[in-house]
Structure 1
Amino acid sequence: MSPLHFEVHGPVDAASTVLLSSGLGGSAGFWQPQLGALIAAGHRVIAYDQRGTGRSPAALPAAYAIEDMARDVLEILDATRTAHCHFAGHALGGLVGLQLALDAPSRVASLVLVNAWSRPNPHSARCFDARLGLLGAVGPRAYVEAQPIFLYPAAWAAAHAKRVQDEVDHAFAHFPGEANMRARIAALRAFDIDARLADIAAPTLVAAAKDDVLVPWTCSQRLADGLPNATLNLMAHGGHAHSVTEANAFNSTLLAFLSRVSASAVPA
């Protein structure tokens, strides 16, 4: 398969590596609000464009699955000689982290799951049906124009109208194609590891915003209840992309979690 685009930031001799995996858009750029804070805290950081998106072009098979995306992460860890990482994933990226923790637990020092889930739910299914309906009936432009509705609170989107429109225009210019988008959505809709949550021992930060209109915050509550070593952080506002809209608060929680995990790690 074609190579994956990834970027390595921060000190090469850092004691820990944080790997960032974005949601459905697949772009490393989603994590820009976190990058500086993580580097300043002394972490080596890996961000990547997921296969079939952005700078990792590929024609995805219809049966492409979250398991395939987890194998892509292992490929990046091997390529960067990273024995294990703190894995942070947003939405679909969180699913990749959960799968990685099941398939290769020794490679995952901790998990950060942002507005993720362990099994399908009817509300998110309705949202994806509507988005796919737009894509099929009207086309990619309508699909990406609707995207901010699911990502951001209305007041934030209105106050940052130019930024939001620039993101929409960029998403349209780099749209991965209808077949790839359908394959990626099918993968996240098929994901269900609810019965295996107890098998994931990694320390986990579960982060969610209660005003997320795409993924109910109760999905994060279920993750926190089912994972043996989880901490739940709920924000009242911020939407599906609260790591962007409430970046300072999110970064503070993220760095505090990573610090606690590092402090409690048993020396090799």
Structure 2
Amino acid sequence: MLRSVLATLLMVIALPGGASAEPLPLPAYGPELEGFAYPFPVERFLLTSQRQPLQMAYLDIRPGSPNGRTVVLLHGKNFCAATWESQIRALSAAGYRVIALDQIGFCKSSKPAAYQFTFRQLAENTHALMDKLGIERPILVGHSTGGMLAAHYALLYPKAVGQLVLVNPIGLEDWAAKGVPPTSVEQWYQRELKVSADAIRAYETATYYAGKWEARYEPWVTMLAGLNNGPGKEAVAWDSALLYDMIVTEPVVYRFPEIAVPTLLLIGQKDNTAIGKDLAPPEMRAGLGNYPELGKAAAKAIPGARLIEFPDLGHAPQMSDPEGFNTALIEGIAAP
């Protein structure tokens, strides 16, 4: 996984005799993640949105032996197109053309200073890229916030989606309705300015990886922390704040019964993600982010949905157990 950059991304180096050096200085990546290498060539989609020119980075990987189908991968809030590397390689080997995007406001894409982030807008941007690439009825795979986006996309463009795959999507519950207190954009912004590698690593260990940290996850911590440590950190933090506001104010759970495309849910059972959970009263936190219950409820609410559960995995099953996840994904999309 990104072997070419591992050496420069790891935060600690081993010294002779088993001693450890001090942590290396955190990289400072540009506002469009300049300086962080992706495992595939990055292409750019130029678009005009909300009266401003923007660019959306994406990966387009064509298989050696195409099966005529395309998979579109939609990343989560703290993820990028590059974090799908294992899935891209497995899907391509199975004959699928694979498109992986960095949404506006994320990773290697534009960070507009003034933008009304909505799931509809991100879906429209994604649909515009599909039109440009001539892709019709792809298999849409969305993880975390990308799962929430994928659900909105399927509701907006039901005839333009062949299959829908939701990987530990957020938005399976309405946090505000459950009592999570409102948070202003300014409050989100101040929180994002304090992002650190240690805080990212601790959160991801507890939530993404079910309490089990491995060194192979470190590049993704450095990717996020370096982006928030770079010369455009204020722009990155501001867009992140706007995106958090979008997530908590646009629940999609109530519209699950309207989804009219074949849907597969891939749910790590040790996930406990709930945006703003740390802001909720202590007595309320334990009831939030219960993915064993939320996954079953979503499968019941979405007509004809199929549910595959990963008992020992957390919020990022595609990264914790890529081999097992890839097998389940490819088998799951083989026959809608």
If the TM-score is normalised by the length of the shorter chain, which range does it land in?
A: 0.7 to 0.9
Distance 1:125 1:53, change over 3 A: farther
1:225 matched to 2:225: no
Per-residue deviation, 1:60:
5.6
1:154 matched to 2:229: no
Correspondence 1:1-268 to 2 at 5 A: 1=48, 2-11=54-63, 14-59=67-112, 61=114, 63-116=116-169, 117-121=171-175, 136=190, 139-141=194-196, 143-148=199-204, 149-155=206-212, 157=213, 160=214, 162-175=215-228, 177-214=236-273, 215-217=289-291, 218-261=293-336
SS in 2 for 1:3: strand
Q: CA RMSD in A?
A: 2.7
- Structure with higher Rg: it is 2
Separation in 1 of the partners of 2:262 and 2:127? 19
Give CA deviations for 1:217-254 in whole Å, capped at 9, x if unaligned: 12222211111120011111111111110212211111
Q: Kindly report structure 1 stretches of 4+ aligned residues shifted beyond 4 Å.
A: 122-129, 132-135
Per-residue deviation, 1:169:
1.8
Distance 1:97 1:254, change over 3 A: same
Q: What letter is aligned with 2:254?
A: A
Greater share of helix: 1
Per-residue deviation, 1:30:
1.7
Q: What is the TM-score normalised by the length of structure 2? A: 0.69
Distance 1:62 1:79, change over 3 A: closer
Per-residue deviation, 1:144:
3.1
Contact 1:60/1:183, CA 8 A, preserved across alignment:
no
Separation in 1 of the partners of 2:218 and 2:100? 24
Greater mean alpha carbon deviation, residues 211-220 or residues 27-36 = 211-220
Structure 1 alignment gaps of length 5 or more: 262-268
Give CA deviations for 1:20-39 in whole Å, capped at 9, x if unaligned: 00100241012112111101
Give CA deviations for 1:141-198 in whole Å, capped at 9, x if unaligned: 265344423322222x1xx1x3333322221112362111111111111222333222
Contact 1:8/1:46, CA 8 A, preserved across alignment:
yes
Identity of aligned pairs, percent?
Answer: 23
Separation in 2 of the partners of 1:180 and 1:248? 33
Contact 1:119/1:191, CA 8 A, preserved across alignment:
no
Structure 2 alignment gaps of length 5 or more: 1-47, 49-53, 229-234, 274-288
Contact 2:189/2:240, CA 8 A, preserved across alignment:
no
SS in 2 for 1:88: strand
How many pairs align? Answer: 255
